[in-house]
Structure 1
Amino acid sequence: MSTDYQTLIRHYEDCLARHGDTHRGVDWPNADDAAKRYRVMLDLIKPSHDGCTLLDFGCGASHLYQYMLDRSVTGIRYAGLDASPAFCELSRKKYPQNEYICLDVIEQPERLGKFDYVVMNGVFTEKRELSYEAMWEYFKRMLLVVFAKTRRGIAFNVMSKEVDWERDDLFHVPLTDLTHFLARELSRHYVVRHDYGLYEYTTYVYKESN
């Protein structure tokens, strides 16, 4: 597989350089919508799993962690991962108490340890200059690697096909394509959420049934 996906990393680093440590610095156009995504991502975690470990995959500037602090979310041991050295350095400076992993898991999957839960917020919403086919292959390969590293479940979002129009730079995934892949390659225990008012959907994939 080519390393064309690294254009995505460079895009987000460009956003950080232009907009700094803000929602636009991670290419979310609206702060309120970004907060809604953080809430939906955290809903992956079962209420009974107090003390669980959570990996914020593609953590960016750790805005999910700040969301947790602002809302006094407890019982979760947070760690962040990003393939961008710029974002890892920023997050470490902001929250030195957290574990941060600067890693391209496609290149070095063996370096990633196991976590109870993994959230991948915004990792797959944009494809930029990649073709749909190239992004789909990257998406599948990444999920196969990450799901093997989780004990309980993962969450990720992609753009919906149920929109008035599609942007060429975004990753709009047909639901049937997604569910066929999940059931055959990852798990039959999944939840698809299209209920939070954005032009995307979030999927939870669990190792075991509820």
Structure 2
Amino acid sequence: MPRINTEAFYQRAIEKYGITAEGVHWNSTQSQEHRFSILRALLPPDLTDVTLVDVGCGFGDLYLFLARQQALPKQYVGIDVIPTMVEQARIRTGCEILQCDVLADNLPIADYYLCSGAMNTLTRQETFCFIERCFHACQRGFVFNLLDGIDCSDVFNYSNPNTIVTFAQEQLGSQAVIKQGYLRDDFSVFLPRL
């Protein structure tokens, strides 16, 4: 059973904050972009020959961040389950943005998958399923972030980095690279395909 009604959760934020970082439940544009910079550093330096799927792309802010950094991939595809976000991401990026449920629908194949924040309201089992499905849809690696802490919230999904390392090794055969210490209660992960 889902932790929350995801569409209602995000729709309330969009109605309150509009097409902003806060509208996708980040504290600020600065914290959102700080997370993007950490995830970007886990990808190859040159993305010009890379296909990238942005899972939970929201309003397409990662694409706009990469464009400002002059680090756009060869092909960018966004995925989101919220219709308003899909519509806005298509307008803001001009890219292919798919409306689908990562836990249930077919996923496109790409070199890398990236996810910033889209697992923050999932249950533990949904999180493992989400990671596994994205990992199997990428050819070179999956980069994502999670909230760091004890999972005792009714809304947010907190994880322990060691749990993710163990899951990656035992279930996916991947040696997880973990980045911590850049923001309180947050960590980032790179799962390479071996």
Q: Does the CA contact (< 8 Å) of 2:178 and 2:189 recur in 1?
A: yes
1:179 corresponding residue in structure 2: 165
- Aligned partners of 2:4, 2:111: CA distance in 1, in Å? 27
Structure-2 residue corresponding to 1:123 = 118
Pair 1:38 & 2:36 matched: yes
Q: 2:82 aligns with which of 73, 84, 90?
A: 84
Query: Once the 2 structures are TM-superposed, how far is the Cα of residue 62 of structure 1 from its aligned partner?
Result: 0.6
- State the alpha-carbon separation in 1 of the partners of residues 3 and 110 from structure 2: 24
> In the alignment, what sits opposite 1:69?
67
What does residue 100 of structure 1 align with? 97
Q: Give every structure 1 segment of 4 or more consecutive aligned residues whose post-TM-superposition deviation is greater than 6 Å.
A: none
**Contact 2:3–2:121 (CA<8 Å) still a contact in 1?**
no
Which structure has the larger Rg? Answer: 1
Describe the superposition over 1:34-93 as per-residue Cα deviations: whole angstroms up to 9, x where unpaired: 110111111221235531011110000011111112222244421100011111011112
Contact 1:123–1:156 (CA under 8 A) maintained in structure 2? no
> Could you tell me whether the CA contact under 8 Å between 2:4 and 2:121 is conserved in 1?
no
State which drifts further: 26-35 or 172-181.
172-181
Counting matched residue pairs gives 194
Displacement of 1:5 in angstroms is 5.3
Contact map agreement 2:141 2:193 (CA 8 A) in 1: yes
- TM-score scaled to structure 1, two decimals? 0.84
1:142-161 deviations in whole A, cap 9, x for unaligned?
Answer: 11111110001111111112
Structure 1: stretches of 5+ with no match in the other structure: 128-134
TM-score (norm 2): 0.90
Following superposition, the deviation at residue 173 of structure 1 comes to 1.1
What's the secondary structure of 1:148's corresponding residue? helix
The 8 Å contact of residues 35 and 116 in structure 2, kept in 1 or not, is answered as yes
SS, match of residue 174 in structure 2? coil
1:22 to 5, 20, 35: 20
1:142 equivalenced with 2:125 (yes/no): no
Q: SS state of the match for residue 158, structure 2?
A: coil
Using the alignment, how far apart are the partners of 2:3 and 2:154 within structure 1? 16
